[in-house]
Amino acid sequence: MAELISLLDAFDNLPRVRELREHAYRGLGDVVVDVGCGTGRAVGELAAAGTRAIGVDLDPGAIELARERWPAGEFHVGDATAIPLDDGSVTGYRADKLLHTLPEPELAVLEARRVLAPDGRAVLIGQDWDTWVIDSDDPELTRAIVHARADRVRSPRVARRHRNLLLDNGFTDVTVEVRTIVWTDAGCLPALADLGAPRAWLDDQAARARADRLFVALPFFLATGIRAD
Answer left, alpha or beta for residue 81, where phi above 0 means left and psi between -120 and 50 means alpha: alpha
- Phi and psi dihedrals of 202, rounded to 5? -65, -40
Contacts of 139 (CB under 8 A, 6+ apart): none
Which candidate, 93, 178, 88, 181, places its Cα nearest to that of 132?
A: 181
d(CA 157, CA 199): 27
Q: Is the pLDDT of residue 14 over 90?
A: no
- Phi and psi dihedrals of 171, rounded to 5? -120, 145
Q: What is the pLDDT of residue 54?
A: 98
User: What average pLDDT does the structure give for the chain?
Assistant: 95
Beta bridge partners of 182: 217
Contacts of 151 (CB under 8 A, 6+ apart): none
Which candidate, 66, 154, 56, 158, places its Cα nearest to that of 106?
A: 158
Domains detected in the chain: 2-126+154-181+218-227 (3.40.50.150)
Q: Is the pLDDT of residue 2 over 70?
A: no
For the segment 102-130, what is each residue's pLDDT rounded down to a tens digit? 999 999 999 999 999 999 999 999 999 99
For the segment 153-179, what is each residue's pLDDT rounded down to a tens digit? 999 999 999 999 999 999 999 999 999
